[in-house]
Structure 1
Amino acid sequence: MIWQAYESGEAIGKTGSEGGVILKDEEATDYVRITLERARYFAITVGLYGVMVHTAFAANLEEATQKYNAMKDALEAAPEDNDDLDAWCDEFTDRFR
């Protein structure tokens, strides 16, 4: 999976889905997007296009960065088979809160 800045990084500094300022925003091959934003807390939102949207939270930037990187790693291991993908999504959302 090749990650690149979402829309050439134009969303950085703008308001994210959780009402915070977007710090990082990446997309992989028109398949998945991951965004890190800071409000009173930190939020990492993943959109697996056509399948799920999930937001995890962190108390500080260090925790948020660790969670962001772990979520990206997990996304790279997502199965392509839809039968397996449903179970994978359940595990992903349980793991990242």
Structure 2
Amino acid sequence: LQHLRQADAIFVQELRQANLLKQGTQQSFAVLLPVKSVGVMGDGRTYQEVIALRAVTTEDFMTADWARLPYDLLAHVSRRIVNEVAGVNRVVLDITSKPPGTIEWE
């Protein structure tokens, strides 16, 4: 749970710093996925956790579209999460609209 809190704080902080937290998205959060991912950190293979980023735009929360965040921002957030959150080696972006998906993850 600590990994999720750290990743979410980084995501929200970077969105706020880019003035996208309220103006570019209506809801944004990180999700800790129930899978492990193989990666390489330093000179060795790792088998660690995956964080998904979810950011949506909506007018009524009955439908929503994924927020088109700048690639440079996403790259920066990903680097920060992988470098600062121990035990995480992969960051993915959820680009599912509602419907068919929902805004939140369960």
Q: Greater relative contact order: 1 or 2 (C-alpha under 8 angstroms, separation 6 or more)?
A: 2
TM-score relative to the length of structure 2: 0.34
TM-score relative to the length of structure 1: 0.36
